[in-house]
Amino acid sequence: MFRICSVFRQACETSATRSQFLAVAAPVNNVPSRSKRSRRRTRGYDAGRALLTFRQSVERAPDPLAFPKLAPQQVTKILNLNESRKEVDTSHPCAVKRYDINKIPSNDPIEDRDVHGQLSISKHSSPYLFGVYDGHAGSACSQTLCDRLFQYIAVSLSPYEILEKITSQRIRVEDIVTMYENQYSTEHIPDHLASIYKKSVLKYAKEMLASYEHHLVSDHLISAFTRLDQDMLEEGLPSTEGFSIDSLESTLSGSCACIAMVDNTELYVANTGDCRAILGVQGLDEEWHHVELSHVHDLQNPQEVRRILQSHPNESTNIIKQGRLFGELAPSRAFGDARYKWTLSEMKCFKDYLSQPNAELGINPERVMPNNYITPPYLTAEPEVMKHTLTPNDKFLVIATDGLWDMLSPEQVVKLVAGHMLGQQVMIPEDLNYGNIGTLKEINKYLKQRKVGFSNRTVDDNAATHLLRNAFGPEHGRISAFLSLPESMSRLYRDDTTVIVVFFDSEFIKNTSKMV
């Protein structure tokens, strides 16, 4: 019971309370208040984000002298702790060549989740799926997405004959979804939850079969996202048959989600919230640039502000406060977060449940609804879907939670991964001139430049680890300070950070493109 009470308290913690706490901590540590950061406005949305990223990367850096210094070997050991790599089976060539994954926690326990796998819904292709989930107010919602979202996507994309087999229970949904090496595997799911999950996804499959027709892939992805969120909201209601505290916990907490699907040479990205996906492209001139495959859904995004206000035209003064939804929630799209979605009657049902003597949740029913809660839902899990046809120039995809993008811009990320691919020392100053070294002064200058180059050289085999090292460094003193922060302070400086780097097989893409 304490756990669900804690989740709710985090979920309904007001920005005013958070600001008061950070206002005390920020001057001491030179860390800007998160609420102040959320109120920043810039003229150009994309330019503003780049500037904000730069400011945050500087302002968030802790004083290297204020914390115990780790040895370089200790830093590397911490960075390597959660890294993984999967090489694709060359006997079954596809657009994906390999992918690197890593994560660094800030919360304890970490609220991020990552997952990767394949679908078996066609004889002609087995799409790869990659997902990062950025949980808030606990990890319950992000864990639920880790367990369930790929299954909903598989059902939504399944052809008629597969849906028939699922609904007649000749095959299970799990049979068409292969999950790879996930430390947050579905094996932990309690029996009562597994039963609820199975019932819900089977009902979804039956409805998809009954109304079967061909749709765009983007429509299927949107359907999977929104249906899972709808099921979670219903399962979390105390009036629902089979209701459990675990379901309520997943519903009250929340999570952003970013999914990438690679089907032959077609790349789809479905994003809900503030995770991001970018494509690293090498031009004909050998120069690198990035392609944005997602938009950030928060209230710094004018389009999101416009969307919300158009849906609630008579509540413009109440919904968005201090750059947050009701002054509380930063992302403008997310799974879970039922207290911004439940209808008024569902809210009443939940409040009645909390008022029962045997509820024992320790939650004040009067704090359930935000102030001026009139025309819900105010929050959606509907993703924005982007499609991109891969070309031989498209070399890699980076999907990450906002912890990475708080520290590095898309341009920096592409430069780092490109340099890592090419085995270059990527952060050496570009104006180094190693020729014409003769005098002692010139030699000294060269050695200093060489020292800078070596201090920033590529030392990690894993590209995701390389990004994490540069996000929190790359200088040893800086990254040592970031990784030495005590639990009570870590969240003030950095977020949980999860990164997936997917490398593409240019030859496969080239040959496939010729056949089309």
The confidence band for 296, taking pLDDT boundaries of 50, 70 and 90, is very high
Give the pLDDT confidence of 236-285 residue by residue, as tens digits.
999 888 888 999 999 999 999 999 999 999 999 999 999 999 999 999 88
Report helix angle 191-210 to 217-235, nearest 10: 140
Note the CATH number of domain 2-423+458-515. Answer: 3.60.40.10
Return all residues near 146 (Cβ < 8 A) that are at least 6 apart. 113, 114, 115, 131, 133, 182, 184, 186
36 compared with 314, residue with greater pLDDT: 314
Q: H helices within 398-505, ranges in order? A: 402-405, 410-422, 440-455, 463-472, 476-484, 487-493
Please determine, for residue 188, whether its predicted confidence score (pLDDT) is greater than 80: no
Cβ(186)–Cβ(178) under 8 Å? no
Listed in sequence order, the residues at least 6 apart from 126 whose beta carbon sits closer than 8 Å to its beta carbon are: 92, 94, 118, 119, 120
Q: Give the model confidence (pLDDT) of 465-506 as tens digits.
A: 999 999 999 889 999 999 998 888 898 999 999 999 999 999
CA–CA separation, 378 and 45 (whole Å) = 23
The tokens describing 470, both together, are 């540069």
* Residue 12 confidence (pLDDT) above 60: no
Phi, psi of 42 (to 5 degrees): -130, 160
Q: Say if residue 105 is preceded by a cis peptide, omega within 30 of 0.
A: no
Would you kindly state where each structural domain of the chain is located, as residue ranges?
2-423+458-515
For 333-385, the pLDDT digits (tens) are 999 999 999 999 999 999 999 988 776 677 888 888 999 999 999 999 999 99
Note the Cα 104 to chain centre separation in Å. Answer: 13
Q: What was the pLDDT predicted at 300?
A: 95
Res. 26 pLDDT band, cuts 50 70 90: very low
Lowest mean pLDDT among 35-44, 258-267, 400-409: 35-44
Q: Is the dihedral of CA 50, 279, 224, 180 positive or negative?
A: negative
What is the pTM assigned to this prediction?
0.84
